[in-house]
């Protein structure tokens, strides 16, 4: 099973300025998060970010924050470790618009109907990465699985203060049904072909 671009949303969890320096291999983790945000911009993938207790841990690292804005992403401030407990699920899967009553434009032939908000196809595949992998990333991803999203964890864009905690999170997520992949795997599965219009930009990004 390959990652489907049209079904994907990207979630970046807690890449905050006061947290990143404490993480094992934090510079590489942050660099891959920036690649993911740039990919989302190139390929028009909906992008969501979170910040845990920003008054204590700081806001999203400025360089990444700029890329999130460029991709028209939205940031959720939270205190719970799982962003789902603070409403992320509603952002990812907004309520469908109520069906209009009988006798209005819905009775017209399909080619004459105007699209409704609720007609947009749901994107059920969540590509997620973040910090710390064994706390906020783990709890958010497990809750998304429980809410019947398909969850794909980008391992080289996830970090914890220790490798042991990070790897324990990956073991637990895989056992729970999440797919594990890397930033380059995301890039090439989203575009699928060297003939994709964004291939040159994606190639330069991952190389």
Residue-wise pLDDT for 180-189, tens only, equals 999 999 999 9
Start-to-end C-alpha separation, the chain:
25
pLDDT tens-place string over residues 15-36: 999 999 999 999 999 999 999 9
**pLDDT of the residue at 207:** 84
pLDDT, tens digit, 9 for 90 and up, residues 113-145: 444 444 456 899 999 999 999 999 999 999 999
Residue 43 lies in a domain: yes
d(CA 64, CA 10): 14
pLDDT for the residue numbered 120: 58
> What pLDDT is recorded for position 122?
86
34 occurs within a structural domain: yes
Please state the domain count of the chain. 1
Which pLDDT score, from 0 to 100, does residue 111 have? 44
Give the contacts of 143 (CB within 8 A, at least 6 positions apart): 82, 84, 85, 89
Residue 113: the pLDDT is 46
> pLDDT tens digits, residue range 38-47?
999 999 999 9
Q: Cβ distance 15 to 37 under 8 Å?
A: no
Q: Is residue 114 one of the residues assigned to a domain?
A: no
Q: Is residue 104 part of a domain?
A: no
In a domain, 106, yes or no: no
200, part of any domain: yes
User: What angle do the packed helices 62-70 and 26-43 form, to 10 degrees?
Assistant: 10
pLDDT tens track for 145-156:
999 999 999 999
Residue 31 inside a domain? The answer is: yes
pTM: 0.88
Torsion of CA 26, 55, 151, 184, to 10 degrees: -30
Residue 158: which domain range?
Answer: 5-94+121-206
How high is the pLDDT of residue 172?
98
For residue 162, CA distances in Å to 15, 25, 128, 198 come to: 16, 9, 20, 36
Is residue 113 situated within a structural domain?
no
Q: What CATH number did the domain enclosing 174 receive?
A: 3.40.50.850
CA distance 127 to 32: 13
């Amino acid at each position: 099973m390959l990652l489907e671009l049209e079904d994907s949303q990207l979630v970046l969890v807690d890449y905050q300025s006061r947290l990143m320096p404490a993480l094992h291999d934090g510079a590489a983790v942050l660099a891959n998060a920036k690649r993911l945000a740039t990919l989302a911009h190139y390929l028009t993938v909906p992008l969501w970010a979170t910040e845990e207790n920003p008054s204590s841990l700081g806001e999203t690292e400025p360089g990444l924050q700029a890329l999130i804005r460029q991709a028209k992403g939205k940031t959720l401030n939270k205190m719970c470790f799982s962003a789902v407990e603070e409403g992320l699920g509603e952002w990812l899967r907004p309520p469908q618009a109520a069906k209009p009553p009988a006798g209005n434009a819905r009775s017209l032939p399909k080619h004459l109907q105007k699209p409704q908000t609720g007609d947009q196809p749901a994107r059920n595949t969540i590509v997620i990465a973040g910090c710390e992998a064994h706390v906020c990333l783990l709890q958010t991803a497990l809750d998304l699985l429980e809410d019947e999203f398909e969850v794909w964890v980008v391992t080289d864009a996830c970090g914890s203060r220790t490798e042991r905690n990070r790897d324990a999170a990956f073991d637990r997520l895989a056992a729970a049904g999440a797919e594990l992949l890397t930033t380059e795997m995301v890039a090439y599965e989203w575009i699928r072909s060297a003939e994709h219009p964004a291939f040159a930009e994606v190639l330069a990004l991952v190389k």
